């Protein structure tokens, strides 16, 4: 396994719409393992493949008690409610921003074996899923800021980045 360098703004790959994964083969499984190792090493809660320079629709999640740590071709199929969160991103180190996310989301995608899954999520898991699926569409959390005053500087080690 290997730890992969994380792309930061303004790297243009962060603005690319990632392509769907067509086949889960050995090289894709290796990429997923490397993404998981990278995320654990940096201590983040979520990582999208374009953050490590690969424009494919893959996300990994590192949250306790979360059944699904890998999602391939994930899509949000329903959102409801609204809540204010403070979000950080591994690709925008040293900042957190106050934005609105959904209270509940329903996601569909496949797991790392290609089996179709649906997830109903709330709280931090819902936030991470929306954040990572945004990445796959070239969207960053700062795009959701109502104003620049909602963005503040923090110590890079001080936030749960995604
Ligand atoms: Ni992020």
* Ligand 1 center–CA 87 separation, angstroms: 9
User: pLDDT confidence of 67, banded at 50, 70, 90?
Assistant: confident
Q: In terms of C-beta density within 10 A (0-12 exposed, 13-18 middle, 19 or more buried), how is residue 52 classed?
A: buried
> What is the dotted CATH code of the domain comprising 12-153?
3.90.45.10
Domains of the chain by residue range:
12-153
Kindly state the average pLDDT of the residues 34-44: 95
| Whether residue 130 lies in the annotated active site | no
CA distance 85 to 123: 10
Kindly state the average pLDDT of the residues 59-85: 94
CA distance 30 to 15: 24
Cβ-contact 34, 3 below 8 angstroms: yes
Helix spans in 23-148 (H): 26-42, 123-136
Cα 112 to chain centroid, rounded: 16
Give the predicted TM-score (pTM) of the model: 0.95
* Ligand 1 center–CA 14 separation, angstroms: 9
C-alpha to C-alpha distances, 37 to 2, 4, 24, 42, 139, nearest whole angstrom: 7, 9, 19, 9, 24
Kindly state the average pLDDT of the residues 77-92: 97
Q: What is the pLDDT of residues 86-99, one digit of tens each?
A: 999 999 999 999 99
Q: What is the pLDDT of residues 125-160, one digit of tens each?
A: 999 999 999 999 999 999 999 999 999 999 866 667
pLDDT at residue 157, as a whole number: 67
């Amino acid at each position: 396994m290997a730890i992969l360098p994380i792309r930061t703004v303004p790297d243009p790959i962060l603005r690319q719409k990632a392509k769907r994964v067509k086949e889960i083969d050995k090289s894709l499984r290796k990429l997923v393992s490397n993404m998981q190792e990278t995320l654990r090493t940096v201590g983040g809660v979520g990582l999208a493949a374009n953050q490590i320079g690969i424009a494919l629709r893959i996300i990994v999640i590192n949250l306790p008690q979360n059944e699904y740590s890998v999602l391939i071709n994930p899509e949000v199929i329903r959102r409801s409610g609204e809540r204010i969160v403070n979000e950080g991103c591994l690709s925008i180190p040293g900042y957190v921003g106050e934005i609105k996310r959904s209270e509940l989301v329903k996601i569909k995608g496949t797991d790392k074996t290609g089996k179709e899954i649906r997830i109903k999520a709330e709280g931090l898991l819902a936030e991470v899923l929306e954040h990572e699926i945004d990445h796959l569409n070239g969207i960053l959390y700062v795009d959701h800021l109502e104003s620049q005053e909602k963005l503040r500087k923090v110590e890079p080690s001080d936030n749960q980045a995604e």
